[in-house]
Amino acid sequence: MSWHNGGSGPWGPSRPGGNRGEPPWGGGLPPEFAAWLLRLQRGLAGLAPGGGGPTRLVLALIAAIAVLWLASGFFRVQPDQQGVVLRFGAFVRLAPPGLGYHLPWPIESVLRPAVTRINRVEIGYRSDTPAETEGRDVTEESLMLTGDENIIDIDFTVFWRIANAPDYLFNIRHPAGTVKSVAESVMREVIGRTPIQPALTGARGAIEEAVRQGAQAILDRYHAGIEVTQVQLQKVDPPPAVIDSFRDVQRANTDAERMRNEAEAYRNDIIPRARGEAARITAEADGARQAAIAEAAGAGQRFDSVLSAYRAAKDITLERLYIETMEQVALKSHVTVIDPAVKGLLPVLPLGTSDAAPAPASPTTVGKAGAP
């Protein structure tokens, strides 16, 4: 394409006496911009078949711009994202992860929030890194009033994620601030119903679950598109000004509980043993009673049988009773046998054991006939 010294060009009449090779728009533009336009015109002229004219050049330029504009509608959604396609600012559809296409701007646009990422909100403290569990304390957020009118210092973390991308993008303006305000409000409500002692000891899990459910219910009413996955208590302590005294009380309560447990263990040990001993003595006494009753009954029956025999045969019964009685006496007495050759009686010294029965008053003398 050549520039003419005279006549009219597509950008207006040429300057009289203009230099050859000079662009037809003259020198009214800045040199840098004029040089850029000249390079663009030469590049497009080289693309136009047969060199073309100004009209063909403009058409090629418009076609190139249109191609670039249409190509700008391609977009990619990452695996942890969800594409939200807008048409003139209004929600149209959702785009799954991968390569997608929408009508180029300004007709359609796409937003790509991370729907699988777990976000966290710290309440009562601020940490420098996400791995920290303790950081700078924020007392205006952490100090709360318990159900028994005590003050408690609570730091906790709320974990949440995007559950509904359109609601998350269009129904709330500051998602993290909304989650923080809602969780703090619900925590104050739950602590306001809980005494300080359970809050410091065994009720932590119940408090976390109650706050999670309460915050989720409020966010659902807001149609915030947010799911609260976990509420985690980081620190539950009395206020710093009284924490030492409170710990002394806690130690005293712990000692009292330990002593109470020891006393309970001793009671659980001594009472069963005492009951067992009482049961044993009772059983022995009952056995002795039964034995005495049986022995007495047997003696009475024996006496009755003897009495019946005595009535039937008095002489034989008397002799039998005499013999049995003498047998019993003889079993408990010492018998001394004296040689008949010994003249007279000799004193006998008992040399038996200490528990032996005493010697008879007079020794038994056996005669030559052997008669007692």
Is there a contact between 225 and 178 (Cβ–Cβ < 8 Å)? no
Please identify, among 238, 262, 296, the residue that sits at the C-terminal boundary of a domain: 238
In a domain, 88, yes or no: yes
Please identify, among 218, 238, 258, the residue that sits at the C-terminal boundary of a domain: 238
Residue 187's pLDDT band, with cuts at 50, 70 and 90, is very high
Residue with tokens 């790509």: 112
For residue 141, give its domain range: 119-238
Going by C-alpha positions, the residue among 372, 352, 355 that lies closest to residue 364 is: 372
Q: What is the pLDDT of residues 152-186, one digit of tens each?
A: 889 999 999 999 888 898 888 899 999 999 999 99
Residue 172 to residue 106: CA distance in whole angstroms? 24
Residue 180 to residue 161: CA distance in whole angstroms? 13
Domain count, the chain: 3
pTM over 0.75: no
Please identify, among 238, 263, 295, the residue that sits at the C-terminal boundary of a domain: 238
Residue 29's pLDDT band, with cuts at 50, 70 and 90, is low
Q: What is the pLDDT of residues 277-294, one digit of tens each?
A: 999 999 999 999 999 999
Residue 20's pLDDT band, with cuts at 50, 70 and 90, is very low
Residue 188 to residue 205: CA distance in whole angstroms? 16
Q: Is the peptide bond before 106 cis (omega within 30 degrees of 0)?
A: yes
pLDDT score for 129: 64
Pair 38, 93 in one domain: no
pLDDT score for 358: 52
Residue 335 DSSP code: -
Residue 118 to residue 2: CA distance in whole angstroms? 64
pLDDT score for 8: 39
pLDDT score for 77: 82
Q: What 3-state class would DSSP assign to 121?
A: strand
Cβ neighbours, 10 Å, residue 283: 10
Paired tokens of 154? 């609570």
In a domain, 368, yes or no: no
Pair 190, 161 in one domain: yes
Report how far apart, in Å, the C-alpha atoms of 222 and of each of 88, 186, 211 are. Answer: 25, 15, 17
Going by C-alpha positions, the residue among 180, 129, 189 that lies closest to residue 156 is: 180
Mean pLDDT of the chain: 78
Pair 60, 142 in one domain: no
In a domain, 283, yes or no: no
Reply yes or no on whether the pLDDT at 14 is more than 70: no
Which region holds residue 134: left if phi is over 0, alpha if psi is between -120 and 50, else beta?
Answer: beta
Tally of helices (H runs) and strands (E runs) in the chain = 9, 13
Pair 123, 234 in one domain: yes
Pair 159, 178 in one domain: yes
Q: What is the pLDDT of residues 298-355, one digit of tens each?
A: 988 888 887 887 788 888 878 888 888 888 887 877 767 677 776 666 565 665 555 5
Q: In this structure, what are the phi and psi dihedrals at residue 201, rounded to the nearest 5 degrees?
A: -120, -90
For residue 214, the domain's CATH number is 3.30.479.30
